[in-house]
Chain A
Amino acid sequence: MSDYGFDTLAIHAGAAPDPTTGARATPIYQTTSFVFDDTGHAASLFDLQAFGNIYTRITNPTTAVLEERVATLEGGVAALATASGHAAQLVAFHTLMQPGDHFVAARQLYGGSITQFGVSFQKFDWHVDWADVTDPASIKAAIGPKTKALFIESIANPGGLVTDITAIADIAHEAGIPLIVDNTLASPYLCKPLSHGADIVLHSATKFLGGHGNSMGGIIVDGGKFNWSASDKYPSLSQPNDGYHGMKLHETFGEIAFAIACRVIGLRDLGPAISPMNAFMIITGIETLHLRMPRHCENALKVAEHLKAHDAVSWVSYAGLADDPSHDLMKKYSPKGAGSVFTFGVKGGYDAGVKLANNVNLLSLLANVGDTRSLIIHPSSTTHRQLTEEQQKAAGAGPDVVRLSVGLEDAADIIADLDQALSA
């Protein structure tokens, strides 16, 4: 691997001066398609016998810079970008699952993932069981013969708890299945799940990687260590592929087989490609990831400490607080900070949460995280409103819960806005 430090790689990895023009910033290759040298060249590309650009649905040179950069920062062997984090999840599971298959996911997840897994995936005959990520034994107990993967978030949305990645990776590997970690809320600046035993890392690049709330994108990073041919569980990777003249992708591509399969089957056939423009915006965002994340964490800790002492607040769940149940895991997995997304409880329950969300002036009431701007949401009336109250509570999004994504403004201004809204 490269000897360069994280900050240098965040700016440079995957990018080089444009060979044709010398352009130093990554050009936006706003094109649908790429010419072939001749039909023989085209055949080589279509048969996966050479790497090259065919069509932006599958590869694009601007998007490739984003992919190579995140693969490098996460320590993976390959990556691919998708239209959104949800698209990354769809493509990753499409590669792993057959109809009738099953996976186990933490019940402490982004509400959108809970709905995608629990409702929409059922249409593919893919089934999920939920487990308590703070109780690895409950994850192990949910694994059955048709289970094809475990899915967790490194820092769980919305509650901000830090998960024991290595313990859960061990459970996955004992069962002969991969661990998928959504690393959206930590970003590789705070945590690198592959180095702790995860096999696949996913991102909503819309959040901290892009960092400015302006562009949708998702990323799949392949750790390259999982043996897809050790069992018959993963026919898309280990068995002859009908879409590629009987090629076995794992045999042919070795350690990068999962990423290749996600691209040449998932992106090719499902179609959720990121736009080159969005890839460019996220590349630009990543170039300041190492400057933004420390400030996000510093501001979040100040706000969490203030809320913890506030009369109108009943509890704060932020792993950065020394007495938080996740604090020890944070010191192990995310030692530079606990991120900037966390929850707290307002005295007065649902109505008090709605009132606070409606009375902020600087913070923005919206359904996103990882923006330069501070964001607030009352999950039970918005992002998690499709869930039952029981599911909301299980996901850490009960009626009194308010979620913050602390931005990069002056911490004193964020605190002052919360204070005025809590007392309004």
Chain B
Amino acid sequence: MRSSKSATQHGKTGETQPMTNLDYSPALLSRVLKETKTIALVGASPDWRKASHIVMKYMLSKGYDVTPVNPRTTNDEILGKNVVASLADIEHPIDMVDVFRNSEAAGPITDEAITIDAKTVWMQLGVINQAAAARAEAVGLTVIMDRCPKVEYSRLSGEGGWMGLPSNIITSKRNQRL
């Protein structure tokens, strides 16, 4: 799902966004989604209609422990989880930082993710920050940009196929999907 703040960054008609190295293999995405247990979702919204809320609810339903990060909301909880103001306020280890902010804001968030020893920085659809990605990759983090973990989980688990989304998975084995 797309961060609403990034919707205006959609290319003009017929144009494609400039992209470098954003062609993530199903194997890489599967590994990240399998190894991740805890997620900090930066930009989580208490509004149940917002994409960030929907993604959080979905990832919770798949067994991930999701901590909502939002310095502005007045809600103490989102989907029953305590809201924190920043990544530094989280007291348990975080595997993945999911960035539901714009591309510029993704820079400092990525640096915070490095500080708290996150394993993966995942930027939502439309969110691309190559400089931040380079900093994170240099110290061993995995970086995914311009993708949605909900969409990728759906695709790799076969759920997306129920809505006609190509999984790009060919297999003759049973239960080979995420």
On A, residues with C-beta under 8 Å from B are 1-2, 4, 8-9, 12-14, 16-19, 22, 24, 41, 44, 47-53, 59, 61, 64-65, 67-68, 71-72, 76-81, 169-170, 173, 176, 197, 225-227, 229-230, 245-247, 250-256, 259-260, 263
Given contacts A44-B57, A226-B13, A252-B54, is CB(A65)–CB(B4) below 8 Å?
A: no
B51: chain A residues within 8 A (beta carbon): 251-252
Q: List 16 A-B contacts (CB under 8 A).
A: A16-B158, A41-B61, A68-B167, A71-B165, A77-B165, A78-B166, A79-B164, A80-B163, A225-B16, A226-B14, A230-B13, A252-B1, A252-B54, A253-B2, A256-B163, A263-B164
Q: Are A230 and B169 closer than 8 Å at their CB atoms?
A: no
* Shortest distance from the beta carbon of A257 to any chain B beta carbon, whole Å: 9
**Other-chain residue from B10, B158, B174 in contact with A229 (beta carbon distance below 8 A):** B10
Q: Are A44 and B61 closer than 8 Å at their CB atoms?
A: yes
Q: Are A16 and B14 closer than 8 Å at their CB atoms?
A: no
**Other-chain residue from B148, B160, B169 in contact with A16 (beta carbon distance below 8 A):** B169
B160: chain A residues within 8 A (beta carbon): 51
A128 to B2, CA, bound (A): 34
**Other-chain residue from A14, A50, A53, A250 in contact with B167 (beta carbon distance below 8 A):** A14
Main secondary structure, interface of B, reads loop
A184 to B49, CA, bound (A): 38
A170 to B169, CA, bound (A): 33
If A68-B164, A79-B164, A263-B164 are given as contacts, then 5 extra A-B residue pairs at C-beta distance below 8 Å, sorted by A number, are: A2-B168, A16-B176, A19-B158, A50-B57, A259-B163
Q: Are A72 and B1 closer than 8 Å at their CB atoms?
A: no
Q: Are B162 and A51 closer than 8 Å at their CB atoms?
A: yes
**Other-chain residue from A17, A79, A80 in contact with B174 (beta carbon distance below 8 A):** A17
On B, residues with C-beta under 8 Å from A are 1-2, 4, 7-8, 10-14, 16, 48-49, 51, 54, 57-58, 61, 125-126, 148, 151, 154, 158-177
Q: Are B58 and A49 closer than 8 Å at their CB atoms?
A: yes
Most chain B CB atoms below 10 A, which of A8, A47, A173, A254: A254
Q: Are B166 and A49 closer than 8 Å at their CB atoms?
A: no
B168: chain A residues within 8 A (beta carbon): 1-2, 72
A247: chain B residues within 8 A (beta carbon): 49
**Other-chain residue from A52, A173, A255 in contact with B159 (beta carbon distance below 8 A):** A52
A181 to B58, CA, bound (A): 35
Q: Are A49 and B54 closer than 8 Å at their CB atoms?
A: yes
Among residues of B, the one whose C-beta sits closest to the C-beta of A72 is B166
* Shortest distance from the beta carbon of A20 to any chain B beta carbon, whole Å: 9
**Other-chain residue from B1, B4, B58 in contact with A253 (beta carbon distance below 8 A):** B1
A256 to B171, CA, bound (A): 24
Q: Are B164 and A173 closer than 8 Å at their CB atoms?
A: no
Given contacts A2-B170, A251-B51, is CB(A64)–CB(B11) below 8 Å?
A: no
A68 to B166, CA, bound (A): 5
A16: chain B residues within 8 A (beta carbon): 158, 169, 171, 174, 176-177
Given contacts A173-B13, A252-B2, is CB(A13)–CB(B170) below 8 Å?
A: yes
B164: chain A residues within 8 A (beta carbon): 64, 67-68, 71, 78-81, 259, 263
A16 to B12, CA, bound (A): 37
A14 to B170, CA, bound (A): 8
Closest 9 CB pairs of A and B: A67-B164, A173-B14, A254-B2, A79-B164, A17-B174, A2-B168, A72-B166, A51-B159, A49-B54
Given contacts A19-B175, A49-B58, A225-B16, is CB(A251)–CB(B159) below 8 Å?
A: no
Q: Are B4 and A263 closer than 8 Å at their CB atoms?
A: no
**Other-chain residue from B16, B165, B172 in contact with A17 (beta carbon distance below 8 A):** B172
A52: chain B residues within 8 A (beta carbon): 159, 162
Given contacts A225-B16, A229-B7, is CB(A13)–CB(B166) below 8 Å?
A: yes
